[in-house]
Amino acid sequence: MKVPFVNLGLQYKNLKREILNKFDRLSSKGDYILGEELSKFEDEFAHFCGTKYALGLGNGSDGLSFSLKFFNIGRGDEVILPGNSFVATAWSIVNVGAKPIFVDVLNDLNIDPNAIEKVISKKTKAIIPVHLTGRIADMKRINKIANKYKLKVIEDSAQACGAKYHNQKAGSFGHVASFSLHPLKNLHVHGDGGIVTTNSKKAYEYIKKIRNHGLRDRDNLEKWGYNSRLDNINAGIARIKLRYLNKWNKRVRKIAFKYNTALTNKIIVPTESANCESVYHRYVIISKNRNKLKKYLKENNIDTAINYPIPLHHQEAYRKMYKSNLSLPNVENLSNSILSLPIYNELTDQQVDYVIEKLNFFYK
């Protein structure tokens, strides 16, 4: 038995006919950039998230960065984010010239709202909560703090497509939110891609321009912008997959529940608070012998990952820039004990049972 960490080829195999038909139809028309298919995907995605607008971009990182630019956040400003995320969250802040202010996380790997208030200064302009592993951060408390100090909230929803919190979807809590359509995300295209959601017409209009060089129309350049558009064929592929996403998320949640009940209590499994639904982009356990366990599972053909082994405030690029010796105890402890088990729609029941059997055997 083999359990790969992801199996993208299998998802393609199941959707092959639909995707090839779409590819053929769009290619025959020569409709590649900023076409009708993209507009349709944007409408459907906004509807899916419960927001007024959505805009397809070249990747999810740009969505975060463009949002910060929209709010005129840059040199001299500070933006608060959790110390445990993918590097792109911090990059988006550095890219606009602002300073990332990392704070500690709770055991659910999401930003600790109590830690946010402690680092707010006159320079603070925004908070970027990350819905890590597909579990929505404590948005009620985060938005309350943001309102109190008049800060902008940009949700990093890259891992949380379809996740719910009090019956509201990821991407609809902040002023703007950014999703990634990278192949490792639960809704992904065949290459790089991203999409932002917002209820703000002004944010929508701004990002719509700067994703396309800053052009107002074909010939008039209103401001300097970027080339960061979701291409039409990938938008078409995303439309196909969006129709299956609820079904896939349901299956993934079922696998998570199975892990939860069957895995030994010698490890800590991810929990959900009431009224929250994670989409389990990652199923992360906390274990005392993480490295040995990872090695043992690998020897038994079970691939795992660590998300993430190096906290952002320990990354070389950050340390060089800010000469920082910041310490975030929980982020650091977790980085030594977390392990992501395989979880995706195409995983079979037999594979799930095999992971459970091997992991429990390790702790016997």
Ligand X SMILES: *Cc1c(COP(=O)(O)O)cnc(C)c1O
For ligand X, the binding residues (CB under 6 A) are 59-61, 85-86, 88-89, 130, 156, 158-159, 180, 182, 192, 194
Nearest distance, CB of residue 187 and ligand X, angstroms: 11
> Of 95 and 289, which has the nearer Cβ to ligand X?
95
> Of 87 and 262, which has the nearer Cβ to ligand X?
87
Rg of the chain (C-alpha set): 21
> Of 113 and 134, which has the nearer Cβ to ligand X?
134
Nearest distance, CB of residue 95 and ligand X, angstroms: 12
Nearest distance, CB of residue 60 and ligand X, angstroms: 3
Q: CA of 159: how far to CAs of 13, 89, 133, 292, 331, in Å? A: 23, 12, 6, 27, 18
Burial class (CB in 10 A: 0-12, 13-18, 19+), 6: middle
Which residues 6+ apart lie within 8 Å of 335 measured at CB? 84, 306, 308, 309, 310, 311
> Of 111 and 263, which has the nearer Cβ to ligand X?
111
The answer to whether the CB of 226 falls within 8 A of the CB of 213 is yes
- Whose tokens are 């019956």? That residue is 167
Nearest distance, CB of residue 122 and ligand X, angstroms: 27
Diameter over CA atoms, the chain: 69
Nearest distance, CB of residue 276 and ligand X, angstroms: 18
Nearest distance, CB of residue 179 and ligand X, angstroms: 8
Strand arrangement of the beta sheet that strand 276-277 belongs to: 168-169, 164-165, 276-277
92: tokens are 């988006």
> Of 59 and 124, which has the nearer Cβ to ligand X?
59
Three-state DSSP class for 56? strand
Three-state DSSP class for 164? strand
The one-letter amino acid code at 28 reads S
Dihedral pair phi/psi, residue 168, rounded to 5°: -115, 145
Q: CA of 339: how far to CAs of 81, 98, 268, 305, in Å? A: 22, 32, 10, 6
The answer to whether the CB of 108 falls within 8 A of the CB of 136 is no
Nearest distance, CB of residue 342 and ligand X, angstroms: 17
> Of 26 and 196, which has the nearer Cβ to ligand X?
196
Nearest distance, CB of residue 167 and ligand X, angstroms: 23
> Of 56 and 263, which has the nearer Cβ to ligand X?
56
Start-to-end Cα distance in the chain = 21
The answer to whether the CB of 95 falls within 8 A of the CB of 226 is no
The answer to whether the CB of 106 falls within 8 A of the CB of 116 is no
> Of 182 and 229, which has the nearer Cβ to ligand X?
182
321: tokens are 């820039």
> Of 129 and 236, which has the nearer Cβ to ligand X?
129
Nearest distance, CB of residue 133 and ligand X, angstroms: 9
Nearest distance, CB of residue 301 and ligand X, angstroms: 26
The one-letter amino acid code at 67 reads S
> Of 330 and 351, which has the nearer Cβ to ligand X?
330
